[in-house]
Amino acid sequence: MSELEALEQRIRDKSAHIGVVGMGYVGLPLGVAMAKAGFRTTCIDVDPRKVELVNQGRSHVQDIPDEVLAPLVKDGLLDASDDPAVISELDAISICVPTPLRKTKEPDMTFIDKAVGMIAENMKTGSLIVLESTTYPGTTEEVALHRLEQGGWKVGEDFLLAFSPERIDPGNKTYTVENTPKIVGGITARCTEVAAVYYEQFIEEVVRVSSARAAEMVKLLENTFRAVNIGLVNELALMCDRMDIDVWEIVDAAATKPFGFMPFYPGPGLGGHCLPVDPHYLSWKAKTYEFYARFIELASEINSSMPEYVFQKISIGLNQHRKCINGSKVLVLGVSYKRDVGDIRESPALDVMELLRRAGADLAYHDPYVEKLAIGALNLRSTSLEDDTVGNADCVVLMTDHTCFDLSSIAARASLIIDTRNATKNVGGDRANIIKL
């Protein structure tokens, strides 16, 4: 039996020791799913704080409760390390590291480069390596494969390499690691097959595609589809505002059509780990083929302009109350990028708050998931929602519609609300004090 055949057998009988590089919102849930399936799993991260927490059975990721993590650690199914040498003990490794953009909107491969380099220096023959970090088509071949073969090893003979895009939706209680279909594409057919078998041990449905490049493109299509359609409905919101039409009513009515229409909703801008970033990866790669992705770039331009539009709405609302932004007390409700999570990455609330700060507003915010903000010139702590906090504010800006917000109570106390999420749709009583996006 060859080393690769032995690897597949260890995966099937779950005697393989597997690992995850990166313990963020993707890596830790993935590691937990592996451990729950019965694999001995090691999570690797350069942050010693995360390593210490996990080894204590304490989670730093909102989607993984301590009561789920702790038993796995106690039973020896899951541990964490910041020592790259442990890679030499692993049979299969999933890479889940960040892939941000540079200020020039070009892909930043720093984290992938470091992770792949660490693996190349420590992995054993007969290993399976799977890249999960969202990136441009060709990364697995051009970056990972190139680095892993530098030592003279050959893919498909000495090791296996594949791409399988993460599909984590933070805060989603319905679709988790285990029941969200997994896309897998390898450098060779053998790479694809063994990687698929690997994921089939703890994920309900695995979808094989023809190559790693195809798998990389699948992920970018998914997120670019959303970003472009959000850009379309955001532009429609700007148009409806000029025409004095309620865009929310229009989208809801259109959504009654049972075929040929999928509702997307306007908002204050894109946030999070995917939508503001991933389309730029595709657009950048397309330019290397002398192809210009006009839809993608236009949608990005529209979505990026939405915080300025919200700022204008705040200014108009205050003017209607014979006030200006300079010196007005503005309370921002929700600063995370989406409902019921504490992730502030690329959150449009931060852009709106920075515009308000520059205009001289007396800023405060409340977010039960974000205790403090220390980003750039913003240095604030979440305030309470006591009666005087809302009642004394000149303007309340609803940026994130956390389900815990008592919007009826807030609407009754606030003199002015700018609602960027249509969250006050079902709030009764006098709504003259509410201005929607």
d(CA 163, CA 134): 9
Rounded distance between C-alpha atoms, residue 74 and residue 89, angstroms: 20
Contacts of 103 (CB under 8 A, 6+ apart): none
Catalytic residues: 274
Whether 389 contacts 383, CB under 8 Å? yes
Q: Which residue, among 119, 122, 80, 115, has the nearest Cα to 97 in the 3D structure?
A: 115
Return the exposure string of 369-396: e unless at least 16 CB atoms fall within 10 Å of the residue's CB, then b. Answer: bbeebeeeebebebeebeeebbeebbbb
Helices within 60-188 (DSSP H only): 66-74, 110-122, 139, 146-148
* Residue 27, CA distances (Å) to 32, 122, 362 in order: 9, 20, 39
DSSP designation for 143: I
Distance CA 139, CA 265 (A): 32
Rounded to the nearest 5 percent, the helix, strand and coil shares of the chain are: 40, 15, 45
| Rounded Cα distance, 399 and 350, in Å | 10
